[in-house]
Each structure stands twice: as C-alpha cells, then as structure tokens.
Amino acid sequence: MDDALGNVIFIVTGSNLTAEQKDRPLAYFLKTHIDRYGGEDPTRCGLVVSDHWYMNTKEVQECATISIGGPPVNALSQHFWHRLPMALAVDNVFVIQADMSFEDLRASIWGMSHETTREAILTFCQKGYLRRFLEAAWGESIEEPETPKEGGTEKS
C-alpha cells in the first residue's frame, strides 16, 4: 500500500444516478466528520470514491473503507453483505455492518431509504462507531473534535 494512503479512509458510494444523488452527499457529510477527527494532519482524511473505481483499484482495497448505500445501489455493499458481521440492525430501517473489534477496517452503512441511510450514518457517528473505527485505523486514541458553533461565530 502507498504510504500516502495509510491514513486515508475511503468512503465508497454507488455509481448509479440514485446513489450519486442521494448517497454521495451523505458520504461527504461523513467525510466532514472524519476530517474533523483528523485535525491538523492532512493525511488523516476521508476520500469519497465510486464503487466501480474502488473495486477496480487493487491497492486501495487494503485501506480503511466505509461503504455507503445498500447492496442494490452499491456494488461494494453487495460484496460486503455476506462478509461483514452486523454491528447494528434495526429491522426494516437500517444496517451497520462492521467487525466491532475493528481489526477488519471495513464497514458498510445503509438504510431502506435515503432518510434511513442518513439515520444510519448519524447513528454511526453519534454512538461512537466512527471514533472507534478511526482509532483502529490510525492506531491511537483520539478525542471528540469540538462541535462548530452555529453560524461559525459566537456572540458575546
């Protein structure tokens, strides 16, 4: 694996129109959270890519990876479906697949609709799954980043 990719977290979305419209913005939302955890280190970041590019680029498949969107719209989620354990499943709502020891640095997050996929990503972030995933990927404990203030500034 290229050393420059060592701390990159690949966020993979489907390539079809629905995935591009619905899941790619959610992937960038997740990227924003990853980048905040990465702080001042520009190598600790999220990188949003398509499922086709990812699955055809052998060297990145060893990197930490989070797949966004369900098996019908994301070929990587389809690939992970029977390969990753369920970390959290809410019947007919959403699924988070990941090895909770995070020895396997792959995860798949998706819902039964755009809204429930969004809910799954929020749950992944808010319940500490993302922080634990990043700690395993980056090999050290990390602190919760500060939450940005509304509007970017605070009034005195």
Which residues in the chain come in under a pLDDT of 70? 1-4, 147-156
- Structural domains in the chain (count): 1
Domain assignment present for residue 84? The answer is: yes
24-39: per-residue pLDDT in tens?
Answer: 999 999 999 999 999 9
**Cβ contact 9:45 at 8 Å:** yes
| CATH number for the domain harbouring residue 106 | 3.30.379
Task: Kindly state whether residue 152 falls inside one of the protein's structural domains.
Answer: no
> Whole-angstrom Cα distance, residue 106 to residue 108?
7
In a domain, residue 138? The reply is yes
| Residue 150 lies inside a defined structural domain of this protein | no
Q: Which domain holds residue 104?
A: 3-144
CA dihedral of residues 32, 146, 114, 25 (deg, nearest 10): -20
pLDDT, tens digit, for every residue of 86-106?
A: 999 999 999 999 999 999 999
154 within a domain of the structure (yes/no): no
- Residue 116 resides in a domain: yes
DSSP H helices, 39-113, are 51-55, 75-80
- Please check whether residue 60 lies inside any domain of the structure: yes
135 within some domain: yes
